[in-house]
Chain A
């Protein structure tokens, strides 16, 4: 079993550069092979999306594993408002995601600070309530909100898409900020005061630079969660494509009767995904630390 062999040489691995290698390390070759498998596992389907999105529709089922029959027509098709409201949906995703992130961060940062830094009765209960709120299945709030919003005439409006997303984005923001803030060296604030800083200076010169990366990472995670949301948006947009986000547009992507728009859908999917991939590549370390902080720091 791979797990057992993995451990066989594990303790030795960090020290291996100290000891001269005399024999071939089969374990290392096995490790390398599995690393390659993980790499292919993660990227192969994405790579196929990339290949198909640049391929002429007539060659959709051509299995050539590299770029052939290159064309940009899939992207032109995807952005053509005659067929799909895709371009519009990207703007909508941006509007919804930015608003949701801004609201969650502004409100969540206070709660995060209080939960991380202040001592008060009922903290465990507040944490449980906030976590509990995010644990409800989307459909549990969707049913009453659907009725409520149709009563207000809100179905298919931005507010109907933005407000419900607060239900998961605000707890996410509060939790991430709470754990980041709990780990910050707040003693520095006091040290700055002792060294003659005013409270304002201590905050601006010491705390803000420390908190900024944490807030930035949290904002990225919240925005990603909003950008990827589908269930609430698909129902509450109620078929109004002028406000529906890109996930809904992708799910309803069409090319007219009897045409399977695979290459065009892949092009649209790529457009939705590429900004996320860029963000992930740029802020890889931050995101991983945001997701697994305590453990990675060791």
Chain B
């Protein structure tokens, strides 16, 4: 979530780089060497903590896990070449059988849950991001207009953002209790966290509560860059409120909005804390990340295949979104900070 803000800032920067442009033309070898020395520690550390583990995981995802060999009935030490079996296990939900073949994984095993978990994750992503950007846009438009109380609201907005997700999850668990405040207010007796759709709604409500104000803050930053003269001119030319919104506001906040949507999407696609604590992943709230963590203790090489599939899918979705919004994030950054 926090990263979204950083990047947006850099994207916006590209318009305001001002006099720094002239430095682009010359590449001084001494300066390059200095830059390399300054950046090396960061790259080395990230290569060690992120790069190496990921390469190792990809390698391991092609190996067998230790366990009873279903074909021979003997204990198998694992780590033998396994081809793409770990991948077909997850992608086609196929489990090994005693005769060495494969069959659909039985209900309830982790192997049978891959597409279900991925579907739920995508569902959470689409619904929460849609709610958060729509409501966040509304909040931002109002905050941009209001002069009294804006400082107060801006402080309030940072509070859901600052509360750790672990605490947020516990807080909503209390609110969602069958005897809890929400049921009392609504006059209902929902068992919010113990059946399918109420449990999913609970996750969505808690996430929307926590993140909408933050999205509003990001959009507000974009709105404040739009000059009032633009609206005045459009008004004189006879544009009505809706036209001014769709022809001026939306196009001008689009870069900020696109970055917020892309990074929020990436965040929800790896959602773990909220469902893991609020519902324990039960009642159809097992996200892809929860599935990986469950698999960790029952076969690390298979878990490696699962986490590889998960990040490849997330990467593909991110790539698609960047194309969809035509947002040149990396390019904008490179340009912006020169």
Contacts and interface: CB of A to CB of B under 8 A. Distances in A.
A227 B160 CA distance: 15
Interface string A254-286: 000000101001100100110011011100100
Nearest to B277: A251
B53 to A, nearest CB: 4
A250 B41 CA distance: 35
A201 to B, nearest CB: 21
Q: Which of A39, A146, A295 has the most CB of B within 10 A?
A: A295
Interface of B: 2-3, 5-13, 16-17, 20, 23-24, 26-28, 31-32, 34-36, 38-39, 41-43, 45-46, 49-54, 56-57, 60, 137-139, 141-150, 152-160, 162-167, 169-172, 174-175, 177, 179-181, 184-185, 209, 212-213, 216-218, 220-222, 224-225, 228, 231-232, 235, 241-242, 244-245, 249, 256, 266, 269-270, 272-273, 276-277, 288-289, 292-293, 296, 300, 303-304, 306-308, 310-311, 314, 318, 329-331, 333-334, 336-338
Contacts, number: 392
A140 B334 contact: no
Contact of B167 (A121, A140, A148, A269): A269
Contacts of B308: 140
Given A123-B35, A272-B164, A294-B8, 7 more contacts: A48-B171, A141-B53, A182-B17, A230-B273, A260-B177, A273-B167, A298-B225
A141 B54 contact: yes
B292 A139 contact: yes
A170 B46 contact: yes
Nearest to B57: A144
A76 to B, nearest CB: 19
Interface stretch (A80-88, A105-113, A190-198): A105-113
The 7 closest A-B pairs by CB, nearest first: A295-B221, A294-B12, A124-B334, A291-B5, A292-B221, A137-B270, A144-B53
Contact of A8 (B224, B241, B288, B293): B241
A290 B52 CA distance: 31
Contacts of A280: 155, 158-159, 162
Contacts of B5: 290-292
Contact of A179 (B9, B145, B155): B9
Contacts of A205: none
Contact of A230 (B34, B164, B296): B164
Contacts of A96: none
Contact of A140 (B241, B310, B331): B310
A58 interface: no
Given A3-B137, A49-B171, A131-B330, A287 B24 contact: no
A231 B334 contact: no
